A and B are shown apart, each in its own frame.
Chain A
């Protein structure tokens, strides 16, 4: 599948933003730190900026972005529509939490309802994003039980690392604020490894013989393409990264997304609060680079059954 950079940026940035939102909301509701208004402003501001930038970027992928408002109407049947509705709905409790935290320095009491609601809606939005891909029967690599868990654990991991960075700017990091995000990073790594294994081992039973229904006559070979140049279907669904490149990129993304942040987070248990932001920032940058590569691979390694008509060997 052709990796559209606007979609890659959208899912990674807004995933991290929603994750950060959950960390901030739940940690503040549980009294994890004093409700410093600047922490709220920077933290929630960063989360909402990432979410908004991601959502705007996703409209860049559209042919007619001026009609994007229509995408809220089909939530009864379409995961893409549901994602849009949930994404917008999340802003409301986020705004309530933001006002309470920044203007009233209050994160306990009644505002906890908003914190819980924003966490639920943020996770629901990431769930819907994953389901857009997981619900397509045409793409075997996406139509997997672990696709949605990968989206959700990566949102919590990327958001968690951002949370550590933001918190480190304001206060000495309590142990839980290092260990819990570390657990999220490890959980995301384990999920992603199992996902890659499932995709590599999943059978590809369809052949050109199935696509054309001519298998009873013998082997089917694509002799004459319908057109001399590639068309939209070939460009969108036919993009495939070579196996050897994919293996290297998987390793690189795993180092950046999991190894580097894990090392940084472990080091944060030992370093002073003056240098902590630096280590956290390294983790953020590495994680960001790693998740962009991971998302690119998510598209580039995916095969679409329609390519069976265009000479693909199996799907």
Chain B
């Protein structure tokens, strides 16, 4: 059904920390693997060893250079479906294959109903939906709906594959609609933001901005112990100890 639910009980989504992401692509690969071995037809991998390898992926990590010159920095930017509250990708779907779950707000594609008309991908401002050439349907991040409720998995594995795989802890999963959840507190503390809020889709996923630079110009480092004073005292013992201290400090 492609009319949107009025409200959802939860707003499950991801919080991506752009300060910590190192662009290792582990989340990209684990997502690809989980969605290739799981519930539906494998994500396509066409001409993988040839001249034009291509296929559908649900999560992609860009690298941006932000700022210029000395103040420039590299920001690695994972991009996947933001599970928006009012996504046009759901309402434009002619078959009802694209839908938003009322119980947790996850936006999904039913691969048995999708006709692959691609209109939902045109409606998505974030490029989150890809057409799978082999399967003939549209694919997108499922928020690992087949993991998060899956009691066959150990409790710590009942998070999206990308969150589990991230080696630096740059990805967080939770109910962003619950102000007391860990992710909501993280968003409030770090000033998490929506991508392109002017589009009006009300994305649920939040991005945490890179923290302010820390380098020699902004350093507030104070030594914990005062350096020993080698300048004074003609006393032989203190001269000897000053010399010993200097040799041992090398």
Interface residues of A (CB under 8 A from B): 1, 61-65, 67-68, 70-74, 76-81, 84, 132, 135-139, 206, 208, 210-214, 216-227, 229-233, 236-237, 304-307, 309-310
Contact = CB atoms under 8 A, between A and B. Distances in A.
Given A206-B196, A218-B66, A233-B130, A63 B125 contact: no
A202 to B, nearest CB: 15
Contact of B92 (A78, A84, A206, A213): A78
B56 A217 contact: no
Nearest to A214: B66
Contact of B116 (A63, A307, A310): A63
Nearest to B193: A213
Nearest to B114: A64
Interface stretch (B69-77, B155-163, B225-233, B240-248): B69-77
A221 to B, nearest CB: 5
Given A224-B62, A226-B61, A227-B60, A218 B127 contact: no
Q: Chain A at the B interface: mostly helix, strand, loop or mixed?
A: mixed
Contacts of B119: 78, 80, 132
Contacts of B56: 231-232
Most chain A CB inside 10 Å of its own CB: which residue of B52, B64, B116, B121: B64
A62 B67 contact: no
A224 B117 contact: no
B224 interface: no
15 contacts: A62-B116, A64-B137, A71-B94, A80-B92, A132-B92, A137-B88, A138-B88, A211-B196, A213-B195, A214-B64, A223-B65, A226-B28, A230-B54, A232-B131, A236-B121
Contacts of B200: 137
Most chain A CB inside 10 Å of its own CB: which residue of B119, B122, B132: B122
A213 B75 CA distance: 11
A229 B52 contact: yes
A214 B209 contact: yes
B115 interface: yes
